[in-house]
Amino acid sequence: MNRMHHVFLGLLFVVTCWPNLAIAQQQFVPDERWAMTLYTENDSSYYVPESTADRYFTHGTKLVLTHQPAYADTLAQQLGTIFPIGNNEPVDTAVGYVFGHNIYTPDNIRNTVANPNDRPYAGWLYGGMFLQRSVNDQELDHLELNLGVVGPAALGEPIQKFVHRFTDSPEPKGWDDQLHDEFGINFIYKHKWKFTLAGDAREGFGLQTIPQAGFTVGNINRDLNAAATFRAGWNLPNDFGPGRLDDVLAATGNPYAKDLSIYGYVRAGGRYVEHDVFISGNNDHDSLGVAEEHWVAELEYGVAMAYKRFMVHWSNRHITEEFEQQERSHIVGVWMVSWSQPF
């Protein structure tokens, strides 16, 4: 393990463990709920029917562990003056710990010579934690801090080449021109509202809309974003909509289905991108990179099933062009599996 990995792991430890160290005297809630969720996104045919090639954002995996400790209330109170929520109403809280890995490639991974008009190869290895607060199951705040590394230390090249050998897929041949090692930090904020439009959301048929807005700030990504989710089905879970890699499930309160839940959903949104290191290249400009498209739109549709503390869903996400020379839009498939159980 090289020095870059040692430093990164040390920073990751600080980000994920500082609340426990700072508030060690506080007791955990005896019956707090723990949940483990795995998110995986890919543009292969296993995720997107009839997909034929890796390109652009080609893969992401994120493991999330959430629970509802007593110190989450303390954190929520400390942040309340900066990010207020509700009108002095009771607030449910939860925290989560994340560990993830993303891979980005140009349009044609068979090329051995980099295309200066295409996005560069890049890996992103990161970890962090988040705090969630909800009021009356109608509003949710999500505040997340991630630290990571871009470049060879992110292990994008060996991971992609191993998977391609295992699945007998074409070998990616341009990793020699990937972004170089650089530490990264992102702060993510999202706010969601939930409205029941028809039916009884928890029992029988229900129709809900879940609008949201937020921003990302850091040396990896900087953007403003907004979206709205519409879902319809039976026995909807008491959460804030389906999760995905960059928009994880709510963990506050009791966000589970009372009985078997099945629903379909559509999510439409967009973002204004001021900076994306995976497109424009390393921040010192000593790498390949292209100009970002500032306005990016998305349309996602999928189905979800939940029973008690188990949830699974699949969706396809259509993303418009993310850089100026991009010749086509992109489709990414999403799988999510979640399990919760009091320990």
45-84 pLDDT per residue, tens = 778 887 777 889 999 999 999 998 988 888 888 777 677 7
For range 142-147, the mean pLDDT: 97
Q: Is the pTM of this model over 0.85?
A: yes
Q: Is residue 181 a contact partner of residue 150, using CB atoms and an 8 Å limit?
A: yes
Residue 144 CB: number of other CB atoms within 10 A?
Answer: 20
Tens digit of each residue's pLDDT (9 = 90 or more) over 199-249: 876 678 999 999 999 999 999 999 999 999 999 999 998 899 999 999 999
- Measure the CA–CA gap between 139 and 111, rounded to whole angstroms: 48
Tokens of 108: 């044609």
Q: Is the pLDDT of residue 254 over 90?
A: no
Strands 122-135 and 139-150: antiparallel
Burial class (CB in 10 A: 0-12, 13-18, 19+), 172: buried
Which residues does 86 contact at the CB level (< 8 Å), separation at least 6? Answer: 135, 136, 139
Cβ atoms within 10 A of the Cβ of 284, count? 8
Q: Does the pLDDT at position 40 exceed 90?
A: yes
Boundaries of every domain in the chain: 3-25+32-340
Q: Lowest-pLDDT range, 16-20, 159-163, 236-240, 286-290?
A: 16-20
161: enclosing H helix or E strand: helix 156-166
The whole-angstrom separation of Cα 282 and Cα 154 is 14
pLDDT at 28: 41
- What b/e sequence results for 126-142 when a residue is b if at least 16 CB atoms lie within 10 Å of its CB, and e otherwise? bbbbbbbbbbebebbbb
The rounded percent of the chain whose pLDDT value lies above 90 is: 65
Q: Three-class SS of residue 15?
A: helix
1 to 4, 8, 9, 127, 154: CA distances (angstroms): 8, 11, 11, 18, 12
Q: Is 255 helix (H, G, I), strand (E, B) or coil?
A: coil
Cα separation, 333 vs 314, in Å, equals 7
The residue behind tokens 């090329």 is 111
The predicted pLDDT at position 274 comes to 97
Give residue-wise pLDDT tens across range 80-134: 767 777 666 788 999 999 999 999 999 989 888 889 999 999 999 999 999 999 9
Name the CATH architecture for the domain at 3-25+32-340: Beta Barrel (2.40)
